[in-house]
Structure 1
Amino acid sequence: MSDAYHDRLRSDSDDAPSRRDFLKTGALGALALGTGGMASTASGKPRTDVSGIEAPGDAKNIIFLVSDGMSAGTLTMADLHLRRHHGRRSNWLRLYEEGRVRHGLMDMAAANSIVTGSAAAASSWGSGHRVFNEAVNMSEDGEKYRTILEIFRDAGKGTGLVTTTRITHATPSGFGINMPARWSEDKIAAQHLEREYDVLMGGGARHFDSDQRDDGQNLFQAFEDKGYTVAQSKSGLNTWGHEGAFLGTFYDTHLPYVLDHQNISSHQQRVPRLPEMTDAALQRLSQNNDGFL
Structure 2
Amino acid sequence: MENQPVTIPWGTQKRLQYLEGKLYWEGKVNRGDLTAAFGISIPQASVDFTKYQEMAPQNIAYNASAKYYEPTESFSPLFIELSADAYFSTMSCSPTKSITTCESDYIAAVPNPSRVINLDVLRTLVQSIKNKKVVSVDYRSFNNPQPGNTRLISPHSFGTDGSRWHVRAYCHESNAFKDFVIGRIASAVIESDSDIDVDSDKNWFNFIDVIIGPNPTLNDAQKNIVAMDYGMTDFRLEFKCRIALLYYLMKKLGIDQNGSERAGNEQQIVAINLDEIKTAMR
**Structure 1 and Structure 2 fold alike (TM over 0.5):** no
- Higher alpha-carbon Rg: 2
Q: Which structure is richer in relative contact order (CA contacts within 8 A, separation 6 or more)? A: 1
Higher strand share: 2
Relative to the length of structure 1, the TM-score reads 0.21
